[in-house]
Amino acid sequence: TEDSPTGKHVAVFAFPFATHALALLRLVRRIAEASPATMFSFLSSEKSNLACFSGGRRDDGGTCPNLVAYDVWDGAPEGYVPSGRNPVEPVEIFLRAVPGNFESVLRAAERERGCNITCLLTDAFYWFGADMARERSVPWVPVWTAGPSALIAHMETDSIRQIFGTSGKMLDAIPGLSAMRMTDVPKEILDATTPFPTMLYRMGQVLPQATAVVSNSFEDIDPIVEGELHSKLRKFLDVGPFVLSPPPPLSDEHGCIPWLDKQETASVVYVSFGSMIRPPPHEITAIVNALDKAASPFLWSFRGDAQAELPREFLERRTRGKVVPWAPQLHVLGHRAVGAFVTHCGWNSVLESMIGGVPMVGRPFFGEQSMNARAVEDVWRIGVAVEGGAFTEEATADALERVLAGEEGKRMRERAGALKEMALKAVEPQGSSTRNFKALVEIVTG
Ligand code: U2F
């Protein structure tokens, strides 16, 4: 048991999949450092906490003594082994355990730390945060880690379904979504029968009740979308890109940076599909053939077994290409040698590409990635989506050619450079994200 000198105790509920918990922890550490007299209890699954906190510790090892992690049940029965057939299975099992698993551990954390919570900060997915915070008369502050236009889409799900039902193709009837097409909408919005889409729907319904919604973005990124979010929510706080505050130290065990140092400026194609996605074999083959055709050097962060899944001759062309199981992506995209990023358009990847000033070739897979890809192509014009929605040799080679070569590629690079300046400016001491972060600290700990 410990006492908070101020009686302030913030509970944080993380979503223990993909990069969500780590992104939230990054933000929470900053808040905890800014408010050392406030206690923070970070609740996530055991597996997620083990990945986020080094060495199996449950406190922050001295850097943030006021931050303690607690494990919540992941919903899986004793001895459960994921079938692997359905990647969302562990998520669905987890969602069956909420909110009870959070509720019980929260009470335990309150007892252990001798202080009831004074604020609830959650992954935005957790719609139940609205009720829980209301019952306890504390602010609810949800954190959205994905692209901003999807937030509007989730709040406007009923209207989108109506337009879909009347065979509309464009979403220009919905303020903030004029750049989007019906095909860009996360499929969960149109099919809400399973637990994950149901969660997103409920989230969209309750977000306007939140004290403030926090976003991993920056104010100047898209005035139309931003304006709409400001009008829909009680308070909308862009405090991103999270990854810049502070940037992670370079960890390059596969030697990506020395390899890039040997390449010509803006010549290398970097290929990566985030933390989970593995394109199907025929699309892998299409990428391999397109890279051969482009004859550009490439760096590929490959999920899966590269030796088994990529042709041997391709792997042996070491002077022209490098395949690694993990790359220090922020630093890779910031390297002068990288000329294009082949990406699934996960939000962190899009932001990191902007920060590096690198144009993208987008191949969205699920969730809000299609909306991000549309914005990359049509709003910011810093990349292209692969024609036809999936990698074919021809479509991929065309996209690479457009992004890497000629006037079009050059203009994309210039526009990406302008966005990079905006992102860097936002996190400067006088920048908008810094100002919003201070407002967030006030709300959470005030
Ligand atoms: C989900 O996306 P992912 O987590 O799969 O993908 P990103 O948002 O692009 O984040 C991947 C992160 O992993 C890092 C990379 C990004 O910060 O720098 N990384 C790396 O360092 N090295 C590698 O070799 C490969 C990746 C979801 F699928 C999306 O739709 C959402 O937009 C996203 C955010 O909520 O979460």
pLDDT digits 0-9 by tens, 369-426: 999 999 999 999 999 999 999 999 999 999 999 999 989 999 999 999 999 999 999 9
What is the average per-residue pLDDT within 169-193?
91
347 Cβ below 6 A of ligand 1: yes
The number of the ligand 1 atom at minimal distance from the alpha carbon of 369 is: 30
The number of the ligand 1 atom at minimal distance from the alpha carbon of 150 is: 32
Nearest by Cα to 77 from 97, 102, 47: 97
Rounded to the nearest angstrom, the distance between the alpha carbon of 18 and the centre of ligand 1 is 7
Question: Which of 17, 19, 353 has most ligand 1 atoms within 8 Å of CB, for mutation?
Answer: 19
198 Cβ below 6 A of ligand 1: no
Q: Are 332 and 360 a contacting pair, CB within 8 Å?
A: no
What is the average per-residue pLDDT within 233-255?
96
Query: Alpha-carbon dihedral of residues 28, 32, 33, 35, nearest 10 degrees?
Result: 140
Rounded to the nearest angstrom, the distance between the alpha carbon of 29 and the centre of ligand 1 is 20
Cα–Cα distance for residue pair 67/356, rounded to 1 Å: 32
Question: Which of 149, 252, 275 has most ligand 1 atoms within 8 Å of CB, for mutation?
Answer: 275
350 Cβ below 6 A of ligand 1: no
Chain center to CA of 406: 31
- Which residues, other chains included, contact 145 with Cβ-Cβ below 8 Å and sequence gap of 6+? 19, 20, 23, 24, 123, 124, 216, 242, 347, 348
Cα–Cα distance for residue pair 349/402, rounded to 1 Å: 20
152 band by pLDDT with thresholds 50, 70 and 90: very high
Q: Which helix (H) or strand (E) holds 401?
A: helix 393-404
Rounded to the nearest angstrom, the distance between the alpha carbon of 310 and the centre of ligand 1 is 22
Rounded to the nearest angstrom, the distance between the alpha carbon of 345 and the centre of ligand 1 is 8
Residues carrying an active site annotation: 20, 123
Q: Are 269 and 400 a contacting pair, CB within 8 Å?
A: yes
Chain segment 196-208, per-residue pLDDT in tens: 999 999 999 999 9
CB neighbours (10 Å) of residue 166?
Answer: 7
- Which residues, other chains included, contact 357 with Cβ-Cβ below 8 Å and sequence gap of 6+? 413, 416, 417, 419, 420
pTM, two decimal places: 0.95
The number of the ligand 1 atom at minimal distance from the alpha carbon of 366 is: 30
- Kindly report the backbone phi and psi dihedral angles of residue 263, in degrees, each rounded to the nearest multiple of 5, phi listed first: -95, 160
